[in-house]
Amino acid sequence: MKNIFILTGAGISAESGLKTFRDSDGLWENYRVEDVASIEGFEKNPKLVHEFYNMLRPMLEKAEPNAAHFAISDFERHRPDLNVFLVTQNVDLLHEKAGSKNVWHMHGRIDECVCLKCSHIFKTLGDVDFQMPCPKCGAKNLKPNIIFFGEMPMFMEKINQQLAGCDVFVAVGTSGVVYPAAGFVQVAKYYGAKTYLFNLESARNNFYFDHQITGKASETLPDFLKNLS
Q: Of the residues 50, 69, 105, 107, which is catalytic? A: 107
Judged by CB under 6 A, the stretch of 7-15, 45-53, 70-78, 155-163 that binds ligand NAD is 7-15
- Tell me, rounded to whole angstroms, the distance of Cα 217 from its chain centroid: 15
In this structure, the number of other CB atoms found within 10 A of the CB of residue 121 comes to 12
The pairing of beta strand 27-28 with beta strand 2-8: unpaired
Report in angstroms how near the CB of residue 133 gets to ligand NAD at its nearest.
Answer: 28
Which CB sits closer to ligand NAD, 49 or 134?
A: 49
Binding window for ligand NAD (CB under 6 A); candidates: 38-46, 88-96, 127-135, 155-163: 88-96
Residue 92 lies near ligand NAD (rule: CB under 6 A): yes
What's the CA gap between 102 and 95, in Å, rounded?
9
| Closer Cβ to ligand NAD, 29 or 192, answer by number | 29
Q: Which of 4, 5, 11, 86 binds ligand NAD (CB under 6 A)?
A: 11
| Site string (31-50) toward ligand NAD, x via CB under 6 A | --------------------
CB 191 within 8 A of CB 217: no
Number of other residues whose CB lies within 10 A of the CB of residue 186:
14
Q: Is 107 tagged catalytic?
A: yes
Given a contact cutoff of 8 angstroms between Cβ atoms, the answer to whether 10 and 20 are in contact is yes
Q: C-beta of 53: minimal distance to ligand NAD in Å?
A: 11
- Nearest by Cα to 102 from 61, 155, 144, 53: 155
Q: Where are any strands of DSSP class E within 98-149?
A: 103-105, 108-115, 121-123, 142-146
Q: What is the DSSP string of 74-103?
A: HHHHH-TTEEEEEEE---S-HHHHHT-S-E
Nearer Cβ to ligand NAD (134/197)? 197
Interface with ligand NAD in residues 156-195 (CB under 6 A): 173-175, 177-178
Does 56 engage in binding with ligand NAD (CB under 6 A)?
Answer: no
Interface contacts to ligand NAD, rule CB under 6 A = 9-11, 13-15, 18, 20-22, 28, 89-92, 107, 173-175, 177-178, 198-201, 203, 216-217
Which positions are annotated as active-site residues? 107
